[in-house]
């Protein structure tokens, strides 16, 4: 890993050893509607646009985003969704605003329809994470295939190798940077996310426990007493690269010419109804997907 990524990383111990046997949160409820924007909602991106680069936030905070040229619109789990492709210009970018910092609690949830797994370490679904140690808060990814030449034509830059070294392909990975001077901490789901179908995924953190939910059911949980570091990192959906490389020169927001255009971390598939909350939510809709 480059630069500040030389910082060592602590990975969660195997599930049986590290899971906290806390009281199970309230059970899932039948799915009847997409998520709502309420008092806990930091941002809710419904992805219902019929085209263009604007991605509206349905919360009261109005944290609107901008889609890259290769993050197009298509049919979603509810209404429409953003369809991401293997391109460096496939992303949604939300500029930093203080409301994105939620040190005491966090929920990241979305409906996802992955088409395939990434060739390298992972493909982020949503992240406030850069290669600068002071610009890291959290990242939620789908673990990739860990391929390398000669199987692939490119060599990964290895930015997330330590984050996913104990995680299986197709599982969720969540990492956070603690508020105190410390190493990043990474955890993974116990269950693999299926391809070619809609799945509701969520990760929550309440300052004491990291929990993964898949299709509304508690998948795994890990004890962790910490606060998430606040940082000036923006929110990037469906990809991972240095946001300082973004430019509007010549039209739409894109990674500037001269930068490495290889989409090492580009997610391939759809994302719908992505909601970020400032606390750990306790229940999610149960579904069998479609």
- Taking the C-alpha atoms of residue 276 and residue 175, their distance in angstroms, rounded to an integer, is 15
Q: Kindly state whether residue 195 falls inside one of the protein's structural domains.
A: yes
Q: What is the DSSP letter of 178?
A: B
Q: What is the CATH number of the domain that holds 65?
A: 2.60.120.200
Query: In the chain, how many domains are there?
Result: 1
In a domain, 26, yes or no: no
Query: Residue 20: inside a domain, yes or no?
Result: no
Instruction: For residue 156, tell me if it sits in a domain.
Output: yes
CB 130 within 8 A of CB 233: yes
Residue 236 lies in a domain: yes
Query: pLDDT tens string for the chain (290 positions)?
Result: 333 333 333 344 433 333 433 333 444 445 567 999 999 999 999 999 999 999 999 999 999 999 999 999 999 999 999 999 999 999 999 999 999 999 999 999 999 999 999 999 999 999 999 999 889 999 999 999 999 888 888 899 999 999 999 899 999 999 999 998 788 999 999 999 999 999 999 999 999 999 999 999 999 999 999 999 999 999 999 999 999 999 998 789 999 999 999 999 999 999 999 999 999 999 887 765 45
Is residue 28 in some structural domain? no
> Tens digit of pLDDT for each residue in 36-87?
999 999 999 999 999 999 999 999 999 999 999 999 999 999 999 999 999 9
- β-strand partners of 124: 141
What are the pLDDT digits (tens) for 225-238?
999 999 999 999 99
Q: Give the predicted TM-score (pTM) of the model.
A: 0.88
What is the residue range of 67's domain? Answer: 3-13+37-286
- Assess whether the previous peptide bond of 128 is cis (omega < 30° from 0): no
CA pair distance 160, 174, nearest whole angstrom: 11
Please indicate, yes or no, if residue 109 is contained in any of the structural domains.
Answer: yes
Q: Does a structural domain hold residue 200? A: yes
């Amino acid at each position: 890993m480059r630069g500040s990524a030389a910082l060592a990383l602590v990975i969660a111990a195997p599930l049986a050893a590290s899971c906290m046997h806390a009281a199970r949160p309230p059970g899932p409820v039948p799915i009847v509607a997409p998520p709502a924007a309420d008092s806990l909602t930091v941002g809710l991106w419904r992805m219902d646009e019929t085209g263009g680069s604007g991605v509206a936030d349905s919360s009261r905070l109005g944290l609107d985003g901008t889609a890259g040229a290769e993050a197009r619109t298509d049919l979603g789990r509810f209404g429409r969704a953003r369809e991401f492709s293997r391109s460096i210009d496939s992303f949604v970018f939300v500029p930093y605003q203080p409301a994105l910092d939620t040190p005491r609690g966090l929920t990241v949830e979305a409906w996802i329809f992955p088409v395939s797994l990434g060739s390298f370490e992972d493909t982020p679904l949503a992240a406030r994470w850069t290669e600068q140690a002071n610009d890291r808060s959290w990242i939620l990814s789908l673990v990739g295939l860990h391929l390398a030449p000669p199987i692939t034509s490119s060599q990964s830059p290895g930015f997330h190798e330590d984050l996913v070294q104990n995680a299986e392909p197709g599982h969720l990975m969540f990492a956070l940077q603690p508020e105190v001077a410390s190493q990043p901490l990474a955890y993974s789901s116990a269950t693999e996310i299926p391809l070619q179908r809609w799945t509701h995924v969520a990760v929550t953190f309440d300052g004491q426990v990291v929990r993964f939910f898949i299709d509304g059911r508690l998948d795994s949980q890990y004890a962790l007493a910490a606060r998430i570091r606040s940082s000036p990192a923006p929110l990037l959906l469906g990809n991972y690269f240095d946001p300082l490389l973004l430019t509007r020169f010549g039209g739409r927001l894109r990674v500037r010419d001269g930068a490495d255009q290889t989409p090492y971390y580009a997610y391939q598939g759809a994302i719908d109804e992505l909601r970020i909350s400032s606390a750990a939510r306790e229940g999610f809709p149960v579904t069998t997907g479609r």
